[in-house]
Structure 1
Amino acid sequence: MKLYLLNALITPFEVEENEMAVFVVQKLSKEKFIEIFQLAVESKAEVISSIGHQSTAEFLKQILPDNLKKFVSHQRIGISIEEGDLALIFRITERAEKIQEWTLDDLQDFYSQGKIEFLTLSRVYMPEMVFNPANFFSEKEDRNEC
């Protein structure tokens, strides 16, 4: 199992032709975010930090317990979530007018204003069982047949 640390809600898989992926995202409290992170570390999961901004990595280190700080680093890497993997996401709910990197002070302000959220993301396998595009575009009567 791998635990990914992310600073954005992304589509974390490599797409092959005819490949399908479905992800489950859940909003968490900061405490639950830390609890899941702690559990992953205790169970010896491989922790991969894919935090794309230095200031975000620094801010996360400020709010995490000491034993988790060493797992947080600034790395702009692509990831692909596989079966059994989990992502913890720290993101800002404030949308910038243009692409920018927030400063540590900006992040502290957003946090104090409740403009930061914590999420978890996992991949659903056998998505063909839960997702059929025809269900979205067919007549109501036809949906029960899919």
Structure 2
Amino acid sequence: MKGKVNGLSAPGSGRARAQDIDRFVGNRMRARRTMLGLTQQQMADIIGVTYQQAHKYEKGVNRIAAGRLFQIAQALGVDVGFFFEGMSGIAEVSPSPQQRMLLELARNFIAMPNRRHQEALCTLARALAENDDN
């Protein structure tokens, strides 16, 4: 594994990096639960999961889906951002040139007030894509 920054894997280490973030969020969850004097079983009951699942969340073994994280934040009386406070070493993600063009295209498409122009652009894009296939 590559070097660590503030306990998190350095950029470029893929899945290991995601697991580090899962563990970080789980540690924050456990710290807040403990601060409130809740047991893992009580926490599991509040968020509607098994004790084992709550334990896996706290250990970072299982990832917490966005909806579940929101539910946990409400149960613990914190904002979702609480779980990421103090986490650093996250590289800024910048879009590729192709992604930038796609975003610009989408913005311009939505800004077109004329539905027929939008349809014409779709027809043009389809024709160009089919032409590239041949």
- What is the TM-score when the length of structure 2 is the normalising length? 0.28
When Rg is computed on C-alpha atoms for both structures, the one with the higher figure is 2
Q: Which of the pair has the greater relative contact order for Cα pairs under 8 Å at 6+ separation? A: 1
Larger strand fraction of residues: 1
- What is the TM-score when the length of structure 1 is the normalising length? 0.26
